[in-house]
Structure 1
Amino acid sequence: MKLVKTALALALLQSLLACTTVGPDYRVPDKAVVNNPSAAGSFIGAHDPAVAIAPVPDDWWKLYDDPQLNGLVQQAMTANTELRVASANLRRAVYIMGQVEAEGGLHGGFDFAAKRAQESGESFLLTEKLPVLNEGDVGLAVSYDLDLFGKLKRGEEAAHANAEGAQAALDLARVNVVAQTVRAYVMACSANRELSVAQHELDLQNHSVDITRRMANAGRGRNTDVLRAAAQADMLRANLPRFQADHDAAIYQLAVMVGKTPAEITQASIQCAEEPRLSQAIPVGDGAALLKRRPDIREAERQLATATAKIGVATADLYPDIKIGASVGSTGIFADLGTPAANRWGIGPLISWTIPDSGSRARIHAAEASTDAALGHFDGVVLGALKETETALTRYTHDLQRNADLRAARDKARQVAAENRTMYKAGRAPFLTSLDSDRTLASADAALAGSDSQLAQDQINLFLALGGGWQSAAKAQTTAEN
């Protein structure tokens, strides 16, 4: 009956103090940038025909309607090394969370010992020598931490937030892997396009060299005209190795993204003559959707929650730690184990308390400073996300206008070059005029190809800033793992 009364008294004490959870309860501070109304509004650069105020699709790379690209992204989601690391970090955080949660449960232990020994008589206040005996000890103990001041609860909050932060880090890795895979593919295609343009211009110039040489041999031109034309051909030919190197580097990057060595992916396995084209205007959504979608924002917010919970853990160290426990066992001569003379039992609370000192207060202040730092980091991530998105938007829309102007200039240069070439063959225009127009066309073609490549990179930068892709990537990776 006494045992029951003791247990009831301790349970009542715990219920009375259950609401005493020290430290601040977490919520996103009102002063956080994420709560600023201007952060959730429309993007400044969203008012352009090239973009649409529509939700960003989970699988944005499928807007290119390129089966080869879709397959590469799927491979990256199952084999990329960065994702393997992030996934392992998440599993570790989940196991740590389970470990912390287990600290608040019922704990038990069993021990058994046997030895042959001669005990000291004086330790029992005896003057004679004690005989050598077989001794034994067997016992079972259970305990439960009442967590009266919420140290374990705050620890669980911190562990949960840390695991959720690890999940956000994995999602962020997925966003980056998708973007890097698409970027490497686009770079390979752009290099093919620029190489083709350069080769075409070189072929035209070689043809011009041949015509110039024949006209010089026929007495209708000068040898210097042949040398000028040949020099222009050499200049164009010098561009070819650079584009080939860019193509090879992109292929090797693709190999890494899909978890292969450079030797395992062949040059012929990536077939694309130019950059993939979007089938519609880029959907960008608004600031509110961005703040919810970007994994790095979610990760920073969870880090703030973790830091806040650790203030409670540090504060709870100022107070006693009370456990209730019970034990039963038998200790004595081995032959007497289990008999009333050797049996023992006990029940009651165990109170441990380290008297607070200046160091204890310093730990709390350190935890508070860490929370301030986490809030500053959270605000910085939000501001950085908005800046990256607006910057990517304005670069894309302005590069689109530049691309249109370069395309118009290239078309005019092509027309002029064709007319001057015809007039030169007919003897109605000097060679230098034809040569200059060919140079202008070559420059215009190269500039347009470079602009097309930059536009493709701008699109990827914009999708990366928008933070999309991790949802479908997560589903694809889960499906592959199952």
Structure 2
Amino acid sequence: MRRLIHLPLYASLAVLAACGTVGPDYRVPEEAAIQRPAAAAPFASADEPALRGEPLPPHWWRLYRDASLDALVGKAFAANTDLRVAAANLARARAVQQEAAGAADPVIGATGAPAYGRASAAAKGLPQPLADGYSHDAGISVSYQLDLFGKIRRGVEAAGADSAAAEAALDLARVTVAADTARAYVDACGARHQLDVARRSVELQQRFVEMTGRRIRAGRGTALDEARARAQLEQLRAAIPPLLAQGRTARFRLAALTGRAPAEMADSEIACTAVPRLAQPVPVGDGAALLRRRPDLRGAERSLAAATARIGVATSELYPSVSLGLSAGSSGALDRLGAGNALRWSLGPLVSWTLPTRAGHARVAEAESATAAALARFDGLVLNALRETETAMTVYARELDRNAALRAAQEQSALAARQSHRLYEAGKIDFLAVLDADRTLAAGDSALAASDAQVAADQVALFLALGGGWEQPGG
């Protein structure tokens, strides 16, 4: 007889022993793009003289040795609104993770219901009405859900991966903010540099116009010469307004990136007279370091882990849910509160199970499809990261080549312009030859200044593709 009483307990233990965590255990799939040896290989474009295979430093903008740029990036890290949004999203994800973990905690409840009234005599089989009086019902309850099939464990696993993905999103926001701030600063400095070049060209052309006027008054030129010189002067002046607008818009971007209104941005914060430029090759590392460093890849991998865990959550819904409960309390007349004959208690399991339906199996299939989509997205981001980096290195290296050619051309144009002016003064060449030499020099100066700005912009684009700048922000 004693064995018969314990038979349900033995059966329950056998069921518990047979249970486990359902759904696949996560690992990065072997077929994932990040597992390919070619993804971790040295970059195909890293043999350029402007690049080197050394690791990318955490604070790449400090390579420019520009205190103004360092200060602006620090202000952006402290006050940028995108970073505030990402930080709030991370806090929310961590709260959701704590909520998911809390599902494994016992649930404790307490009730208390004093009342005055009359119980139904008929319900108790009595012919006469019962007297009015005070009654009570008070108690506590404790319930604990047995995670037999791993629903809670998979939920915690998914929430933890979501939290890690949110942390990666915050790091990605730091990368973007650092690059956007550096790019806006480069644009502001580039506009100022190009503006200086344009103004020098205008000044030189203004002197040439004055010289032409003196020659006409001396009987050595014509009104046509002066008209052509003035036309060239106005064309050079026309290049100034767009550069002024470019510099102001870059300043406005810096204000927004650092969490301020445009009027709060001081001119002294952009203390550059030339475009920032590295004096040494850019450190790029290799593919393996890139894949470890880029936060968007880390976030995509964690999203894949979360999607995989949710397959287990959906699968566990197909199985029974078992909770253990304990309740104790006191019920009866108010003057019997706590009396032995008013006490009550109960202990036992609560088993609930909805037989699997097509909807339940469809939810599992939905979770599996979401995991397949997360893997495809992860693969796409890996391949895109490698493409972006290789492209940025190639574009930067070729712009350096173009810049060198433009610089050589500008030097020759400057030499030709000086020689043409001397020959014109000596009366050995006509006005059109001088005008053409000056026009070529002005175009060369402008193209070189624009290329200097583009080189700096391409450097920032390369640093952005490399994914650095999130480590120890502002440190």
Pairs within 5 Å for 1:45-124: 45-124=45-124
Are residues 14 and 457 of structure 1, via their aligned partners in 2, closer, same or farther at CA, if it must alter by over 3 Å? farther
C-alpha deviations, 1:102-130, integer Å up to 9, x for none?
A: 11122211111122222333333444433
Report deviation, 1:10: 9.3
Q: SS in structure 2 opposite 1:206?
A: helix
TM-score normalised according to structure 2 size: 0.96
- The yes-or-no answer on 1:189 pairing with 2:196 is no
Please state whether the residue corresponding to 1:471 is helix, strand or coil: coil
| Residues 457/127 of structure 1: CA separation in 2 closer, same or farther (3 Å cut) | farther
- For 1:157, the equivalent position in structure 2 comes to 157
- Residues 245-272 of structure 1 deviation map (CA, whole Å, 9 limit, x = unaligned): 1000000100111111101012343121
Structure 2 residue 159 is matched with structure 1 residue 147 = no
Question: In the alignment, does 2:372 pair up with 1:372?
Answer: yes
Match of 1:157, SS state, is helix
Aligned-pair distance for 1:146?
A: 1.3
- Please tell me the residue identity of whatever aligns with 1:296: D
CA distance in 1, matches of 2:11, 2:278: 68
Q: Secondary structure at the match of 1:275?
A: coil
Structure 1 segments unaligned to the other structure (5+ residues): 477-482
Which digits, 9 at most, give the CA deviation of each residue in 1:379-433, with x for residues without a partner? 1111110110011011011111111111100000000001101111221211110
- State the Cα distance separating 1:186 from its structure 2 match: 0.5
Shift of 1:357: 0.7
What residue in structure 2 maps to residue 319 of structure 1? 319
Aligned to 2:258: 258
Rounded to whole Å, the distance in 1 between the matches of 2:98 and 2:75 is 32
CA distance in 1, matches of 2:267, 2:285: 38
Q: Which residue type is aligned with residue 64 of structure 1?
A: Y
- Pair 1:169 & 2:165 matched: no
Matches within 5 A, 1:195-344: 195-344=195-344
In terms of mean alpha carbon deviation, does 115-124 or 403-412 score higher?
A: 115-124
Q: Deviations over 1:313-335 (max 9, x none)?
A: 00000111111121111112222
Flag the 1:10–1:49 CA change in 2: closer, same or farther, 3 A.
Answer: farther
Alignment partner, residue 24 of structure 2? 24
Within 2, Cα distance between the matches of 1:167 and 1:205? 57
1:434 aligns with 434
Q: Secondary structure of the equivalent of 1:341? A: helix
Count of residue pairs brought into register by the alignment = 473
- How far apart are the structure 2 equivalents of 1:15 and 1:471? 46
Amino acid in structure 1 at the alignment position of 2:472 = S
Q: Secondary structure at the match of 2:339?
A: coil
Amino acid at match of 1:458: D
SS of equivalent to 2:113: strand
Q: Deviations over 1:325-378 (max 9, x none)?
A: 211111122221211221101111111111111100000000001001101110
| Alpha-carbon distance in 1 for matches of 2:11, 2:102 | 21
Contact 1:406 1:444 survives alignment (8 Å) = yes
Give how far 1:136 is off: 1.4
Are residues 201 and 351 of structure 1, via their aligned partners in 2, closer, same or farther at CA, if it must alter by over 3 Å? same
Letter matched to residue 232 of structure 1: Q
| TM-score where L is the length of structure 1 | 0.95
Check 1:6–1:93 CA distance in 2 against 1; reply closer, same or farther (3 A cut): farther
Alpha-carbon deviation of 1:467?
0.3
CA distance in 2, matches of 1:105, 1:127: 49
Aligned-partner SS, 2:136: strand
Mapped partners of 1:448, 1:396: distance in 2: 15
Contact 2:90 2:170 in 1 (8 A): yes
Structure 1 residue 360 corresponds to structure 2 residue 364: no
Gaps of 5+ in 2: none
Contact 1:6 1:348 in 2 (8 A): no
The structure-2 alpha-carbon separation of the partners of 1:114 and 1:254, relative to structure 1 and needing over 3 Å to count, comes to: same
Partner SS, residue 328 of structure 1: strand
Give the superposition deviation at 1:9: 6.0
CA RMSD of aligned residues (A): 1.9
Indicate if the aligned counterparts of 1:290 and 1:467 stay in contact, CA closer than 8 A.
yes
Which residue type is aligned with residue 98 of structure 1? Q
Q: Alpha-carbon deviations, 1:203-225, whole Å to 9, x = none? A: 00000000001101110000110
User: Do the aligned residues in 2 keep the contact of 1:158 with 1:309 (CA within 8 Å)?
Assistant: yes
Amino acid paired to 1:88: A
Contact 2:68 2:269 in 1 (8 A): no
Contact 1:65 1:279 in 2 (8 A): no
Which whole-Å CA distance do the structure 2 matches of 1:73 and 1:155 have between them?
Answer: 38
Residue 45 of structure 1 aligns to a residue whose secondary structure is: coil
Counterpart in the other structure of 1:480:
none
Tell me if structure 2 keeps the 8 A contact 1:63–1:278. yes
Instruction: Report if aligned partners of 1:50, 1:281 keep a CA contact under 8 Å in 2.
Output: yes
Does residue 431 of structure 2 align to residue 425 of structure 1?
Answer: no
Flag the 1:15–1:362 CA change in 2: closer, same or farther, 3 A: closer
- Quick one: distance in 2 between partners of 1:122 and 1:287? 84
Q: Aligned AA for 1:58? A: P
* Amino acid corresponding to residue 123 of structure 1 in structure 2: A
